[in-house]
Amino acid sequence: MINWVRVTVLLSLLVFLTALLVPVQLLALKFDWPLRRRLPRLWHRFALYALAIRVIPHGTLDRRRPLMVAANHASWKDILVLGSLADVAFIAKTEVAGWPVFGALARLQKTIFVVREEKRRTGEQVNEIAARMADGEIIVLFPEGTTSDGNRILGLKSSLFGAAAAALPKEGDGVVHVQPVAIAYTRVQGLPLGRYHRPIAGWPGDVGLLPHLIGVLRAGALDVDVTFGETIDFRRGDSRKALTLQTESQLRGMLLAHLRGRFKRR
């Protein structure tokens, strides 16, 4: 049973907070203030609180730069989860920019939109990724290329790791640090997430945002385990296919360990 009073109050506060932060974020984006990176984390944290989603981190984010996070992707909730843990920017397909609500939020967080079908725009997208990472920004990539059901890792696309190659310095012996991060939706109302509640972990493409959001609210308190894997150093001349396989192996191992209740806390 949904506590509609609590939900209404918290979502109303979220709308109020959004209305307060948006003008500030627009100014921060216009003048490129460092604040533009920090405000989204505040918003994501309150959004998770309003939705009764608790994030449980395991391990830590690598402090070295340039850093790219490669994470599995099951739902729009992943954006809130990762955005609550660090000041990050996301790489997303260009269609996301036109989505209701999410498109506006993505632009406010200065998401990098990529047009995979238009080769002529690849150069400018590559340059933006390289410049942002060189400036110390943490870039999040979802290398599956789409959302899963939250129960498994889909095959990673090595072509998407071209973003890591793009961030390598053109001269010298540079390196890009790629850290696999597994997102596992594991418990609901303190109990293991069973088959009945499993659909709230993923966001199937044929389910609208509002019905899925109501499903999340109806389920109640949701726990998300976020595991930071071992960072992989990627240098010029290294194989993107090898990077893809190493990342996929780590993500699959960390996700399954949580879903099967076998994860060992470090």
**pTM for this model (two decimals):** 0.91
9-24 average pLDDT score:
91
At 95-138, the pLDDT tens digits run 888 877 888 999 999 999 887 655 555 567 778 888 899 889 99
pLDDT score recorded for residue 98: 84
What percentage of residues in the chain have a pLDDT greater than 90? 51
Cβ-based neighbour number of residue 40 at 10 Å:
22
At 42-84, the pLDDT tens digits run 999 999 998 889 999 999 999 999 999 999 999 889 999 999 9
List the domain boundaries for the chain.
Answer: 55-259
pLDDT score recorded for residue 265: 58
pLDDT score recorded for residue 225: 96
